[in-house]
């Protein structure tokens, strides 16, 4: 429909402009009407834009960041997660906000690679929806920054004396000087074991020794984001 | 390539070339190139990378090479522009190819209508200037009426709160409007009746009204004269006599020839080169003319470069541009800028035309001297001489002149 409109606009403006131009050159039109002919050629140019880019045409340069890779919901942003859009070239980059200003904020929804990240996509604290049968368990952290395998939605194993349970990262709470705590979704049934443990450690689910009995309780990222 | 090498390019350019070439050729060319490089950089990432690389990764050899390339490009463009400057000016004067003959006719009609409007305004102003013919009679009538009033209505004064009979004239003067002969005449009759009916010697208000009316008549007279001169000067500065060109600039150009012919029967088109030689010998006046010409060339070249820039990028952007806003800004701001260049060029053309007219006034006798023709005895003799010379040179008419050579020391 849009392409049809663009084609119609292009054809009509070009035909009318050509006819008017002919009339102007043959003295059948007032010279001051050149502005009408010029406007018609401008409309032709605009319709070429519409035709070329469809509904995705850019009126203004897209001064925005895009996701450098797939970023899950509640992902804690860091400058490396951002890339500049193709159109944001040269000096226009000056108009982009400082990437540091966007870090230490959480994504409110999963962003696929290349999807623009706007200020409205970020929040200062994570949005946590606890799945049924689970609870949120907070663990202290001394990490400088969150490694990829500890990102929100990733599966981990919780270790005390031994492997206690499988869990899912809900969010990491970090400041500029490092991460202070991690929140994980754990099954309600495992809470007594976790309470009894003197210290807890996390390990990526596909690395190290798994807890075979707890496999069935793993929470997938999809469940946390929907 | 850095600012240092660019500045050395400019320094060498300013040393090597005349200021008129720099102003009318080099500066517009540099601006044009910079804008084109900026546009290409915005559109092409690889071009941008190359440009940044050349700018940042400087070695002496690379800087020298880039300076040389930049100079060659700038100078080639500048030479082409200055060579084309006359042709570009002629296009703005309305010298168009046959394809545009119908359009030309239409434009001539428009210009002719504009001229007719000024002619009409001048005709109207003559009505206003008729005040000059009646002023003396009005003053006399007022004096007589006052004398009769004083004689036959001694001591009689107007009732308080009477309407001011010259109120409308005062209002017109306050707005700096023209006052017509009829309006003044009506006011004179009103005041005349009052002067007949009351004693102006006893009525200070009536006395003041008469004084004010006389001032208003003087104002109406001066205002009409001023308006007439203004319109006449505008006509003389902006239009030739007889021929109407299709553009404003063409008509200003025609006004130069019209001035020369009307005053001296001097055919500027034939004698311009010789006159120019005489003008150039004068160290005070020739820079004035040259400056006016340089400024005019600069504005004309800038106008055409802006048009070229908008035209070329206006075609390319819909196919290559990333953002529609860039295209819209170009097609709106570009012609607006070109319009401003054109307006400025028209104004400058008037100044240039004025300089040439002054040149004709000052140096036409020098031209006769350089042609070894005797000097004229009086104004009419001069007109005859130029007509005679024009006939001989332009139409090959038969004639004779006695040469006059300066006596050898």
**Looking at B209, B224, B239, which one is the last position of a domain?**
B224
B317 touches chain A (CB under 8 A): yes
pLDDT exceeds cutoff 50 at B183? yes
- pLDDT for position A218: 43
Q: What residues in A contact B107, CB-CB < 8 Å?
A: 31
With b for 16 or more beta-carbon neighbours within 10 A and e for fewer, the B12-47 pattern comes to ebeeeeeebbbbbbbbbbbebeeeeeebebbbeeee
Total domains in chain A come to 3
More confident residue, B124 or A209: B124
Pairwise CA distance, residues B29 & B64, whole Å: 20
- pLDDT for position B177: 93
On whether both A76 and A155 belong to a single domain, the answer is: no
Tell me which of B323, B333, B335 to substitute to probe the interface with A (most A C-beta atoms closer than 10 Å): B323
**Looking at A79, A103, A123, which one is the last position of a domain?**
A123
Partner residue opposite B41 with nearest CB, options A31, A32, A90: A90
Pairwise CA distance, residues B388 & B374, whole Å: 13
Highest mean pLDDT of the ranges A39-48, A56-65, B48-57: A39-48
How is residue A8 written in tokens?
């119609």
Q: With the CA atoms of B157, B162, B168 and B172 taken in that order, what torsion angle do they form, in degrees rounded to the nearest 10? A: 70
More confident residue, B188 or A188: B188
pLDDT exceeds cutoff 60 at B120? yes
On whether both A158 and A202 belong to a single domain, the answer is: yes
Tell me which of A42, A55, A64 to substitute to probe the interface with B (most B C-beta atoms closer than 10 Å): A42
Q: With the CA atoms of B354, B360, B361 and B367 taken in that order, what torsion angle do they form, in degrees rounded to the nearest 10? A: 160
Partner residue opposite B323 with nearest CB, options A41, A44, A61: A61
More confident residue, A128 or B121: B121
On whether both B143 and B23 belong to a single domain, the answer is: no
A60 touches chain B (CB under 8 A): yes
On whether both B209 and B319 belong to a single domain, the answer is: no
In a domain, residue A129? The reply is: no
Pairwise CA distance, residues B328 & A88, whole Å: 19
On whether both B71 and B169 belong to a single domain, the answer is: no
DSSP code for A58: B
On whether both B144 and B6 belong to a single domain, the answer is: no
On whether both B41 and B160 belong to a single domain, the answer is: no
B178 touches chain A (CB under 8 A): no
Q: How confident is the model at residue A124 (pLDDT cuts 50, 70, 90)?
A: confident
On whether both B399 and B264 belong to a single domain, the answer is: yes
Tell me which of B322, B327, B329, B330 to substitute to probe the interface with A (most A C-beta atoms closer than 10 Å): B322
In a domain, residue B148? The reply is: yes
pLDDT exceeds cutoff 80 at B45? no
If you average pLDDT over residues A118-127, what whole number do you get?
A: 82
Residue of A nearest to B106 (CA): A27
- pLDDT for position A214: 47
Instruction: Render pLDDT for B47-106 as a digit per residue (tens, 0 to 9).
Output: 877 777 777 766 777 778 888 888 899 999 999 999 999 999 999 999 999 999 999 999
Answer left, alpha or beta for residue A201, where phi above 0 means left and psi between -120 and 50 means alpha: beta
**Looking at B93, B115, B147, which one is the last position of a domain?**
B93
A27 touches chain B (CB under 8 A): yes
On whether both A141 and A91 belong to a single domain, the answer is: no
On whether both A139 and A217 belong to a single domain, the answer is: yes
B110 touches chain A (CB under 8 A): yes
On whether both B151 and B257 belong to a single domain, the answer is: no
On whether both A152 and A186 belong to a single domain, the answer is: yes
On whether both B399 and B266 belong to a single domain, the answer is: yes
Q: How many helices (H) and strands (E) does chain B have?
A: 15, 0
Q: What residues in B contact A59, CB-CB < 8 Å?
A: 323-325
On whether both A49 and A71 belong to a single domain, the answer is: no
Indicate yes or no: CB of B324 within 8 angstroms of CB of A58: yes
Of A155-164, B178-187, B241-250, B311-320, the range with the lowest mean pLDDT is A155-164
**Looking at A123, A153, A173, which one is the last position of a domain?**
A123
What count of CB pairs under 8 Å joins A to B? 66
If you average pLDDT over residues A41-67, what whole number do you get?
A: 77
Indicate yes or no: CB of A25 within 8 angstroms of CB of B323: no
Quick check: A211 and A115 in contact, CB under 8 A?
no
Pairwise CA distance, residues B325 & A112, whole Å: 28
On whether both A151 and A219 belong to a single domain, the answer is: yes
- pLDDT for position B179: 92
Task: Give residues with Cβ within 8 angstroms of B1, minimum separation 6.
Answer: B54, B55, B58, B62, B63, B66, B67, B70
Pairwise CA distance, residues B113 & B120, whole Å: 10
Q: What residues in B contact A24, CB-CB < 8 Å?
A: 103
On whether both B319 and B395 belong to a single domain, the answer is: yes
Nearest to B89 by CA among B26, B24, B17: B24
Pairwise CA distance, residues B371 & A82, whole Å: 81
Helices within B239-285 (DSSP H only):
248-264, 268-280
pLDDT exceeds cutoff 60 at B119? yes
The helix (H) or strand (E) run that includes residue A135 is strand A134-140
Indicate yes or no: CB of A52 within 8 angstroms of CB of B319: yes
Task: Give residues with Cβ within 8 angstroms of B147, minimum separation 6.
Answer: none
In a domain, residue B59? The reply is: yes
In a domain, residue B11? The reply is: yes
DSSP code for A218: P
More confident residue, B7 or A151: A151
Other beta carbons less than 10 A from residue A132's beta carbon: 6
- pLDDT for position B105: 92
- pLDDT for position B326: 86
Q: Among positive and negative, which fits the CA dihedral B75, B81, B86, B89?
A: negative
B323 touches chain A (CB under 8 A): yes
Q: What are phi and psi of B403, to 5 degrees?
A: -75, 150
On whether both B407 and B331 belong to a single domain, the answer is: yes
- pLDDT for position B178: 92
Full residue range of the structural domain in which residue A110 is found: 65-123
B307 touches chain A (CB under 8 A): no
- pLDDT for position A58: 62
Task: Give residues with Cβ within 8 angstroms of B190, minimum separation 6.
Answer: B165, B166
On whether both A77 and A51 belong to a single domain, the answer is: no
- pLDDT for position A226: 24
On whether both B145 and B64 belong to a single domain, the answer is: no
A43 touches chain B (CB under 8 A): no
Total domains in chain B come to 3
- Long-range CB contacts (within 8 A, 24+) of B11-18: B12/B71, B13/B71, B13/B74, B13/B75
On whether both B278 and B151 belong to a single domain, the answer is: no
pLDDT above 70 coverage of chain A, percent:
78
Indicate yes or no: CB of A31 within 8 angstroms of CB of B335: no
In a domain, residue A128? The reply is: no
Burial of A147 (0-12, 13-18, 19+ CB in 10 A): exposed
On whether both A140 and A216 belong to a single domain, the answer is: yes
Q: How confident is the model at residue A219 (pLDDT cuts 50, 70, 90)?
A: very low
B10 by DSSP, 3-state: which? Answer: helix
More confident residue, A72 or B252: B252
Helices within B22-59 (DSSP H only):
27-43, 45-56
Q: What residues in B contact A46, CB-CB < 8 Å?
A: 318, 324, 327-328
On whether both A70 and A51 belong to a single domain, the answer is: no
Pairwise CA distance, residues A35 & A32, whole Å: 7
In a domain, residue B121? The reply is: no
Indicate yes or no: CB of A48 within 8 angstroms of CB of B48: no
In a domain, residue B241? The reply is: no
Nearest to B20 by CA among B292, B300, B360: B292
Residue of B nearest to A25 (CA): B103
On whether both A52 and A71 belong to a single domain, the answer is: no
Whether this model's ipTM surpasses 0.85 comes out as no
A108 vs chain B: nearest CA distance in angstroms?
Answer: 29
Indicate yes or no: CB of B323 within 8 angstroms of CB of A89: no
B46 touches chain A (CB under 8 A): no
- pLDDT for position B58: 67
Please name every residue paired with A139 in a beta bridge, in sequence order, or none if there are none: A182
- pLDDT for position B57: 67
Of A65-79, B76-90, B243-257, B259-273, the range with the lowest mean pLDDT is A65-79
- pLDDT for position A217: 47
pLDDT above 70 coverage of chain B, percent:
95
How is residue A34 written in tokens?
């050149």
Full residue range of the structural domain in which residue B178 is found: 127-224
Indicate yes or no: CB of B325 within 8 angstroms of CB of A52: no
pLDDT exceeds cutoff 50 at A222? no
More confident residue, B396 or B144: B144
């Amino acid at each position: 429909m849009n392409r049809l409109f663009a084609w119609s606009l292009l054809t009509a403006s070009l035909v009318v402009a050509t006819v008017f131009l002919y009339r102007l050159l043959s003295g059948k039109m007032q010279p001051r009407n050149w502005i009408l002919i010029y406007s018609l050629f401008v409309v032709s140019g605009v319709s070429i834009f519409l035709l070329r880019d469809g509904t995705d045409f850019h009126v203004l340069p897209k001064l925005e960041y895009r996701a450098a890779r797939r970023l899950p919901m509640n992902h804690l942003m860091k400058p490396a997660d951002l890339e500049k859009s193709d159109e944001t070239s040269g000096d226009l980059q000056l108009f982009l906000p400082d990437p540091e200003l966007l870090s230490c904020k959480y994504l409110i929804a999963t962003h696929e690679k290349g999807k623009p990240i706007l200020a409205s996509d970020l929040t200062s604290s994570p949005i946590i929806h606890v799945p049924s049968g689970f609870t949120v368990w907070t663990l202290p952290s001394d990490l400088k920054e969150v490694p990829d395998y500890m990102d929100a939605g990733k599966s981990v194993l919780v270790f005390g004396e031994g492997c206690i349970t499988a869990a899912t990262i809900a969010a990491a709470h970090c400041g500029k000087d490092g991460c202070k705590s991690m929140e994980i979704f754990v099954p309600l049934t495992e809470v007594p074991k976790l309470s009894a443990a003197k210290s807890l450690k996390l390990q990526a689910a596909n690395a190290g020794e798994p807890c075979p009995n707890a496999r069935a309780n793993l929470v997938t990222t999809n469940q946390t984001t929907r | 390539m850095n600012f240092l090498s660019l500045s050395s390019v400019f320094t060498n350019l300013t040393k090597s070339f005349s200021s008129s070439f720099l102003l009318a050729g080099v500066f517009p060319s540099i601006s044009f190139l910079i804008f084109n490089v900026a546009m290409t950089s915005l559109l092409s990432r690889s071009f941008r990378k190359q440009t940044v690389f050349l700018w940042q990764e400087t070695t002496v050899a690379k800087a020298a090479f880039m300076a040389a390339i930049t100079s060659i490009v700038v100078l080639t463009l500048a030479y082409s522009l200055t060579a084309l400057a006359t042709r570009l000016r002629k296009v703005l004067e309305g010298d168009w190819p046959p394809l545009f003959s119908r359009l030309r006719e239409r434009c001539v009609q428009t210009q002719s209508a504009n001229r007719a409007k000024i002619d009409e305004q001048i005709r109207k102003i003559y009505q206003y200037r008729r005040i000059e013919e009646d002023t003396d009679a009005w003053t006399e009538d007022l004096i007589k009426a006052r004398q009769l009033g004083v004689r036959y209505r001694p001591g009689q004064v107007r009732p308080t709160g009477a309407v001011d009979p010259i109120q409308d004239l005062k209002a017109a003067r306050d707005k700096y409007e023209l006052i017509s002969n009829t309006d003044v005449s009506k006011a004179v009759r009103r005041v005349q009746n009052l002067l007949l009916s009351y004693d102006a010697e006893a009525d200070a208000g009536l006395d003041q009204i008469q004084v004010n009316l006389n001032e208003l008549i003087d104002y109406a007279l001066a205002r009409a004269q001023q308006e007439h001169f203004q319109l006449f000067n505008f006509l003389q500065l902006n239009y030739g006599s007889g021929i109407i060109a299709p553009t404003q600039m063409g008509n200003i150009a025609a006004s130069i020839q019209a001035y020369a012919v009307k005053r001296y029967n001097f055919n500027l088109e034939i004698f311009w080169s010789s006159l120019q030689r005489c003008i150039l010998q004068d160290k005070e006046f020739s820079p004035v003319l040259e400056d006016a010409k340089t400024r005019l060339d600069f504005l004309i070249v800038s106008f055409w470069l802006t048009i070229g820039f908008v035209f070329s990028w206006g075609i390319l952007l819909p196919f290559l541009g990333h953002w529609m806003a860039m295209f819209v800004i170009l097609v709106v701001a570009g012609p607006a800028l070109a319009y401003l260049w054109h307006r400025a060029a028209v104004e400058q053309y008037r100044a240039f035309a004025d300089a040439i007219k002054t040149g004709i006034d000052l140096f036409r006798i020098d031209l006769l001297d350089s042609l070894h023709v005797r000097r004229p005895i009086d104004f009419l003799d001069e007109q005859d001489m130029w007509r005679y010379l024009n006939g001989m040179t332009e139409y090959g008419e038969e004639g004779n002149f006695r040469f006059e050579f300066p006596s050898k020391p």
